[in-house]
Amino acid sequence: MKKLFVFYALLLIAFSTYAQEKRQDSTKIEKLDEVLITAIRVNAESPITFSNIYKEELNERNLGQDIPVLMNFLPNVVTTSDAGAGVGYTGIRVRGSDATRVNVTINGIPYNDSESHGTFWVNLGDFASSVESLQLQRGVGTSTNGAGAFGASLSILTETSTNEPSAEIASAVGSFNTFKNTLKFNTGTLNDHFELSGRLSKITSDGYIDRAESELKSYFFQGSYSDENTLIKGLVFGGFERTYQAWFGIDATTLENDRTFNPAGIYTDDEGNTQFYDNEVDNYNQDHYQLHWNQRIDGNWSTNLAFHYTYGRGYFEQYREDDDFSTYGFEPITVEGELVETTDLIRRRWLDNDFYGTTFSVNYKDDAKEIIIGGAYNKYDGDHFGEVVWSQFANNSEIRDRYYDNVANKNEFNIYSKGTFKIRSGLSLFADLQLRSISYKTRGINSDLIDFRVDDKFTFFNPKLGLTYKLNNKNSFYASFARANREPNRTDYENGNPRPEQLNDLELGWRFNTEKNLINANIYYMKYNDQLVLTGELDDVGAPLRANSGKSFRLGLEVDANLKFSDRISLLPNIAISTNKNLDFTRSLDGELVNLGETNISYSPNLVVGNSLEYSPNANFKIACLSKYVGEQYMSNFDVKGSKLDSYFTSDINIIYQIKTDSIFKGITITALVNNIFNTEYVSNGYYYTYDDTWSVPGEVTTLDGAGYYPQATTNFLLGATLNF
């Protein structure tokens, strides 16, 4: 692999140099790439609460950690990592809403898994190296493609066209044997119209948690044709991940005495010794194909059409000790005169899926208005099945027999019309209407050997309306109301009879913008009907369980700023203060439904604070101190003390030094990141099981037997170097 990387790097350097020498003076390409996401992004004149991160900011901390970790310091964002150090499986919550409620698109194409609604960045290792910009809209936001935004939406734009050829080699090394290697190239504009670019990456890490190693390989290639009015772009990207499982968590006693312990793969050998199965891993491949065509018809009209296909396949493998034959459809057998009904075995649970469809939009813009009509049709086909690849005892099974097999199909169509209209000087109206139709079907036997059949259809109408008033060149105000509806996911169906959820979102905001200072402040009130809140429990594959909570709400204040005290010193603080309540939460107690009244919504801290203090003594050197405070939060909806996660405060140091040269390199960038410099022992995520015989009234101490924790890494570092050609 190393030889291939070296060969690839030399080839890129040679090719880029050749292209630069042969390229004639071409007309400057007008960047049309941003049009790919115009239909779902907003700007400072929109009545939507949002934050942007650009490539330059991502590069400052892009040393192998996943995109959610790179977004950690955005307002009202909480991130977590199963392996504890930001490589492997990572998660994000926005305003207390988990990743299944965050709508994610890549160039306007849906990325959320159609069934689970989750986003698995582990499948796209080092994807941040191919990102031009991202926008996080908090709340319902504007209409987008894919799963409905119920807490936030994240729009990602991949790297845009450039005139100049380039090549890049980036490597990083860090704690827990973390290594990252990236090779990139870009031909620049060829024959005034064409461009090719690509990336190969590999990230490995042992993880902070025992045996939580990750091996992530990924690629990204794109080719484009552009002229004054046309952009045609094809992209192929994807990745392979192999990660040792780390989603079991640990109990309070283990957290106190051995916080890096990982129970995954544990078993007892024939001599009574504790062992750990060495292949207790996730193993998954995911490939994405996108084709975009943007056409500017005239000074007012433009169109965008895209086709996409995603192919995912893989499994996770587990060693199971003394499992019942009945779990796998085995018949009991007699061994040496004794009836055997349990066995040690190794199983694999597979997911093989296809996701494909089209997105489209038509845009009209003049001095007084901008109108967009767009939509999408997407189809998902998924096969869930399990195999027993080894068994100590078995009777009626053959190799590659599927002990369960369940097929799922999901069809989704949405159409929307949105527009911004200037009513008079300084005042504009935003209107957005979306109609979304979903059909979801499953058939066959699930992993519990139960006939799992779903045949559900939904039609949702999601209106949005807002006003923006620009008082002067420095101050603007906005108000918006949005409604969102969302269907349950597969896990919801497997664990009950879920109802779709509805959200009414009211946002009031103020933006202050001068040459040196930027301040954004907003108040939000999110009122839910049948919100599917996290219960704190996990299913047998580590997926969070959810339950309809009746009526609930989230009320909060968010403030973020960029304050430049001088050309050298900047301060970027943000704070989110909120209250998040279930109003009539019920649960089963002693076989009866009990209404607990008003309780805190799980995983929803009332205070989240972020800050970055940046010092740049010159244009080539920058040092930043980044800090994050997350208030205490409950892992259940019962306000039980045993389910509470303590608050935590962490600080990181980020150093960037650029060296400009006249040699073979255009420049060298040295980046250092020291995470958790004060060696804080903290937990950012966990789970909580409640049982009728251990449950107590809210506020009273209860047993910790049902609590599990995911400890995060103490002080650790990453050091990287990037060579630009």
Output the CA–CA distances (angstroms, integers) from residue 651 to 87, 360, 476, 538, in the order listed. 18, 43, 33, 30
Interval 378-417: pLDDT, tens: 999 999 999 999 999 877 777 778 999 999 999 999 999 9
Q: Which CATH fold topology does 2-724 show?
A: Maltoporin; Chain A (2.40.170)
Interval 608-625: pLDDT, tens: 999 999 999 998 999 999
List, in sequence order, every residue forming a beta bridge with 374; answer none if it has no partner.
361, 416
**What 3-state class would DSSP assign to 702?**
coil
Q: Is the Cα torsion angle 74, 80, 86, 91 positive or negative in sign?
A: negative
Q: What is the mean pLDDT of residues 233-259?
A: 95
DSSP string for 44-55: TTSSS-EEEEEH
Tell me what pLDDT residue 591 has: 62
Q: CA geometry: angle at 506 spanning 504 and 512, to 5°?
A: 155
Domain ranges of the chain: 2-724
Residue 706 exposed, middle or buried by CB count within 10 Å (0-12, 13-18, 19+): buried
- C-alpha 136: how far from chain center: 11
561 neighbors 519 (Cβ within 8 angstroms)? yes
Q: Is the pLDDT assigned to residue 32 strictly greater than 70?
A: no
Tell me what pLDDT residue 690 has: 59
Percent of the chain with pLDDT over 90: 77
Tell me what pLDDT residue 18 has: 38
Which range of 140-144, 691-695, 710-714 scores highest in mean pLDDT? It is: 710-714
Instruction: pLDDT band for 700, please (50, 70, 90 cuts).
Output: very low
Tell me what pLDDT residue 538 has: 85
DSSP string for 550-577: SEEEEEEEEEEEEEESSSSEEEEEEEEE
Q: Which residue has the tokens 């972020």?
A: 610
* Residue-averaged pLDDT of the chain: 90
Radius of gyration of the chain (CA): 26
Q: Is the pLDDT assigned to residue 2 strictly greater than 50?
A: no
CA distance linking residue 108 with residue 115, whole number of Å? 19
Interval 441-467: pLDDT, tens: 999 999 988 999 999 999 999 999 999
Comparing C-alpha atoms, which of 206, 201, 224 is closest to residue 121?
201
Q: CA geometry: angle at 320 spanning 316 and 326, to 5°?
A: 105
646 neighbors 683 (Cβ within 8 angstroms)? yes
